[in-house]
Amino acid sequence: MLCKKKIMPCFIHRSIRNSLCVALRYHTPHLLTSDIRAPGICQIHSLFFKVPISNLLVPMADAEPMLVPAPGGEKRACPALEEEDHSTKRPRVQKDEKNGGPSHKLPQDEGDEPEGEETEPLEEDGEGEGLGSGEAFAEMMKHGLTELDVGILKFVSEHKGFSGILKERYSDFVVHEINKEGKTVRLDDLSVPEEAEEAPVEQPDQPESQVFTEEQKQQLEQLQLFKNKEGNVSIEVADDTKEKRTLVHKAVKTLYPGLETKTEEREGKKFIVAYHAAGQKALAAPRKHSWPKSRGAFCHFVLYKENKDTMEAINVLSKFLRMRPNVFSYMGTKDKRAITVQEIAVLKITAERLSHLNKCLNNFKLGNFCYKKHPLKLGELQGNHFTVVIRNITGTEEQVQQAMSSLRETGFINYYGMQRFGTTAVPTHQVGKAILQDNWNEVIDLILKPRPGAEKGYLVKCREEWAQSQDPEAALKKLPVKRCVEGQLLRGLSMYGKKNIITAFAMIPRNNRLMYIHSYQSFMWNTMVSRRIEAFGLKAVEGDLVLRGGTAFVLSAAEAETHSIQDVVMPLPGFDVIYPTHHVGKGYREMLSADNLDIDNMRHRVRDYSLAGAYRRILIKPSDVSWEVINYEDPRVSLVHTDVEKLEDQPPPVFNKEGKYRALRMEFSLPPSTYATMAIREVLKMDTSIKNQTQLNTTWLN
């Protein structure tokens, strides 16, 4: 029997509430929420439990000390992880970016996120005021977007839809990258290749692992894991030669990533002191050691991660290795709320050093190491393979069969997914429209003005201050987190003044700025494709566009007879594209004109905001489609056998055919720049917006 317990936050100190929130999330299997990773959806102010919450809370005198694990993969106390440093790469207009996210933190990604550029992660505070409960988040979502708001209107299949919960657990969404050779990337080998064990020429007789005694190894390992209360480890090298001391320095840094060394003299004796690197020192260029000429300069490896997006993962790895993030390369960004597996390359870091990270990082695993002469390039992958679990489905066996058969044989409309447009009352495409209109006061207003719905307390205060005073410095003081979009913009306004808004706006990282205008393009594309499907259905017609060798051509009536809807593309508006010649194509001009934009002049006075445009297929047909309906008893149990579980020889999940819960587990592969949520939408025929999913979860819990 479900019972609802509500703990009023005013009776519990905030620090205790925060600790209790984390403890409940990680240590209470009784929690029965959808576990959507959004602000406030899973907090203590209002939670549903199978047992009374009083059973979970014990008096202080009776409570045993409990260590609360840090969420997200890295060690909570690691000073090297407290300051973030991010790299920015120039985007390509034809490629896709990440979108979603609370406040005006630019949209978050999904595992099916288009590959081709990454955004610079902006800081977000952990537990803020004002989003203290599931009700508060649900209240915010009342003002959020639905699919209708962003032009997602049509389906291609005729089966009757059914409901289900997507990503109830992050392990319900598993993504494996498909590399440029067409091979699905999997983590199946943690060993270090033999060539990585080659000893440098300077020390041919003594491997690094034999430099330390067993006691010293134990002390260094405890120091690396922040279990050493002294904060350092001293190794006496009084009688050693300079060559031996050099070997000790190198061995510490190679075998225990995250540690730095220095030589000290005490009472006439020399010691090498190992300690944790932190701050700017952690980002300093690493000391150069010999690198065999026969070995490729780049170590390629498979990164398995849980509940972290790709840029977050890269930053964690770079801190532990004392490298800048830009020494890493990859083919595409992957979802945060998922288990994802992808290939990464790093410049002149040995497989041995990388493999040692497996000892000190949670929710990460590195393996399948090899050396190559080249890095990876964004967009050179062939796609992604998805394993998706949709829980608590209501569809019959026949409905599921019809839905999945249609997905396999017909496909789905290639809409841009909801995360492309943000989750708040101010959609990102509205900001993009204001940028293209050169209406900079509107841009500032949309980002900084107060908005309906619940928000973090400091953001509410910041917006109120801006609305009342229009003073960027005063508003900035209300923000404890300065690296959110609002903070970056206010800092720019403080530095350059309100008469130099374009320069101030440029304080926001370039890729994040471009996502606003790309969001507007996506909104246009979704809307026009819905009109195209409404007008002509699922067949090629005269006036449609197709690509031949990368160039778009208009179909004649005769040519339309020889093409299918799978060949048809629609343009994202820009100065370097052509438009369909039928009446739907003319709708582009009408829609842009209604927004005070000129279809014949899509160049902006700021070069970055000039839109070249691109083409995108209307319909996508997944490959490697398979599915099964699963009955299960325990909603806490994962329904997917992960790569790490296979490596550890853990048995696959066992399903109870008489279980009271039903789930649809599906697998399929998609090309780059397509959204898996849009494929799932076609199966369920259900709105995939967070607003709708929140309502669905609330209904299910009640």
Is residue 386 pLDDT above 60, yes or no?
yes
CA distance 312 to 446: 27
Of 182-186, 254-258, 688-692, the one with minimum mean pLDDT is 688-692
Of 240-249, 371-380, 391-400, 610-619, the one with minimum mean pLDDT is 240-249
CA distances from 178 to 80, 384, 478, 620 (A): 32, 5, 45, 17
Q: What is the pLDDT of residue 406?
A: 95
- Please indicate whether residue 117 or residue 599 has the higher confidence score (pLDDT): 599
Q: What is the pLDDT of residue 454?
A: 58
Q: What is the pLDDT of residue 425?
A: 67
Q: What is the pLDDT of residue 577?
A: 95
Q: Region of 155 please: left (phi>0), alpha (psi -120 to 50) or beta.
A: beta
Q: What is the pLDDT of residue 137?
A: 47
Q: CB count, 10 Å around CB of 382?
A: 18
**203 pLDDT tier (thresholds 50, 70, 90):** very low
Q: Give the DSSP H/E element, type plus range, for residue 174.
A: strand 173-178
646: which residues sit within 8 A by CB, 6+ positions away? 188
Active-site residues, by number, are 335
Q: What is the pLDDT of residue 322?
A: 87
Per-residue pLDDT of 87-133, as tens digits, reads: 333 333 343 333 333 334 334 344 444 433 444 555 444 333 344 44
Q: What is the pLDDT of residue 503?
A: 94
Average pLDDT (471-476) is: 92
Q: Give the DSSP H/E element, type plus range, for residue 310.
A: helix 310-321
CA distances from 71 to 15, 32, 312, 637 (A): 17, 19, 13, 19
What are the tokens at 216? 């010293």
CA distance 261 to 425: 51
Q: What is the pLDDT of residue 336?
A: 86
Is residue 576 pLDDT above 60, yes or no?
yes
- C-beta separation of 335 from 173 below 8 A: yes
How many angstroms separate the most distant Cα atoms in the chain?
A: 94
Q: What is the pLDDT of residue 266?
A: 78
Q: What is the pLDDT of residue 69?
A: 37
What phi, psi does 413 have (nearest 5°)?
-70, 135
- C-beta separation of 181 from 278 below 8 A: no
Q: What is the pLDDT of residue 88?
A: 34
Q: Give the DSSP H/E element, type plus range, for residue 667.
A: strand 661-670
CA distance 254 to 357: 11
**215 pLDDT tier (thresholds 50, 70, 90):** confident
**181 pLDDT tier (thresholds 50, 70, 90):** very high
Q: What is the pLDDT of residue 168?
A: 85
Residue with tokens 């700017």: 280
The angle that helices 690-701 and 134-141 make with each other, rounded to 10 degrees, is 140
CA distance 193 to 369: 7
Q: What is the mean pLDDT of the chain?
A: 77
Q: What is the pLDDT of residue 624?
A: 96
What are the tokens at 195? 């060539």
**175 pLDDT tier (thresholds 50, 70, 90):** very high
**691 pLDDT tier (thresholds 50, 70, 90):** low
Per-residue pLDDT of 514-541, as tens digits, reads: 999 999 999 999 999 999 999 999 999 9
**372 pLDDT tier (thresholds 50, 70, 90):** very high
- C-beta separation of 640 from 655 below 8 A: no
**552 pLDDT tier (thresholds 50, 70, 90):** very high
Per-residue pLDDT of 260-311, as tens digits, reads: 888 888 777 788 888 876 533 433 444 445 788 889 999 999 999 999 988 8
Is residue 226 pLDDT above 80, yes or no?
no
Three-state helix/strand/coil letters over 233-289: EEEECCCCCHHHHHHHHHHHHHHCCCEEEEEEEECCEEEEEEEECCHHHHHCCCCCC
- Please indicate whether residue 463 or residue 212 has the higher confidence score (pLDDT): 463
Q: Does the reported pTM lie above 0.75?
A: no
Q: Which letter, b or e, does each residue of 548-581 get, where b requires 16 or more Cβ atoms within 10 Å of its Cβ?
A: eeeebebbeeeebeeeebebbbbbbbbeebebbe
Q: What is the pLDDT of residue 317?
A: 93
Average pLDDT (688-693) is: 70
Share of the chain above pLDDT 90, in %: 48
Q: What is the pLDDT of residue 112?
A: 43
Q: What is the pLDDT of residue 512?
A: 85
Torsion of CA 33, 36, 41, 42, to 10 degrees: 50
Share of the chain above pLDDT 70, in %: 72
Average pLDDT (576-592) is: 94
Q: What is the pLDDT of residue 256?
A: 80
